[in-house]
Amino acid sequence: MQVEFTNPKLMRKSAKFANFPIHQMPEIAIIGKSNVGKSSFVNHFLKTPNLTMTSSKPGRTRQFFFFNIHNKIVLVDLPGYGWASVSKTMKADWNQTMVEYLKFREELQLVLFLVDIRRVPDENDFKMFDLILDRELPMILLFTKMDKPKKNEIAKNKKKIFEAFDLHTCMNVSYSVHSNKGRPELSKLINQAFSEE
């Protein structure tokens, strides 16, 4: 399978697991803390600038957005976890849906786990990370906002992130929406991941 990550079609948006679309395509989930840059990444990666709403304030994405890519792959933009400035009830609902999604969504075949290159992962990240490990889902770690750190901080920060997750090796890509970095590498890696199956 060779997929070009362009021309997404919104299939469904919903915050309820029971309403998620039924289809036969492999699904890729975009997971990460609020404000890490998930929606900005989706817009950039799919070359569709205004596809999903982004914001400088955490808690922008409030539903799961399912995008059909050329009838071959479905990419899902998730709400963020962590410090979303929304009500406790709403947060608990999303959290529950996210856990259900990571545990039970059969179509899910690859996770893109986004981490801000300047931040060390915390308990919320570990919780999601453990769910992914439990299911032995293939994962690509995506370092976001790579335009932000100083050059000499990059290797040090990556090491800290790897250590926090207790990871020795993991597929990873350094990404920046602002300096247009990482798209070709990631596209290649995803296509490889699916052709090895």
CB of 161 to ligand GTP, least distance (A): 16
In the complex with Mg ion, which residue's Cβ is closer, 33 or 38? Answer: 38
Following CA atoms 13, 17, 21, 27 in sequence, which dihedral angle do they give, to the nearest 10 degrees? 90
Smaller CB distance to ligand GTP: residue 98 or 194? 98
Query: Scanning residues 10 to 69, which ones bind Mg ion (CB under 5 A)?
Result: 38-39, 60-61
Q: Which does 178 bind (CB under 5 to 8 A by kind): Mg ion, ligand GTP, none?
A: ligand GTP
Footprint of ligand GTP (CB under 6 A): 32, 34-40, 54-56, 58-61, 79-80, 144-145, 147-148, 176-178
Closest to ligand GTP by CB, 70 vs 132, is 132
Structural element, H or E, at residue 40: helix 38-45
> Exposed, middle or buried, 139 (CB in 10 Å: 0-12/13-18/19+)?
buried
How near is the Cβ of 166 to Mg ion at its closest, in Å? 27
Instruction: Closer to ligand GTP by CB, 58 or 138: give it.
Output: 58
Cβ closer to Mg ion: 33 or 60?
60
Maximum separation of any 2 CA atoms in the chain, in Å: 47
DSSP summary character for residue 50: T
* Distance between CA atoms of residues 5 and 98, nearest Å: 24
φ and ψ of 177, to 5 deg: -70, -40
Shortest-Cβ-distance residue relative to ligand GTP: 80
Cα 56–39–126 angle (5° rounding)? 90
Q: What is the nearest approach in angstroms of ligand GTP to the Cβ of residue 154?
A: 14
Q: Which residues bind Mg ion (CB under 5 A)?
A: 38-39, 60-61
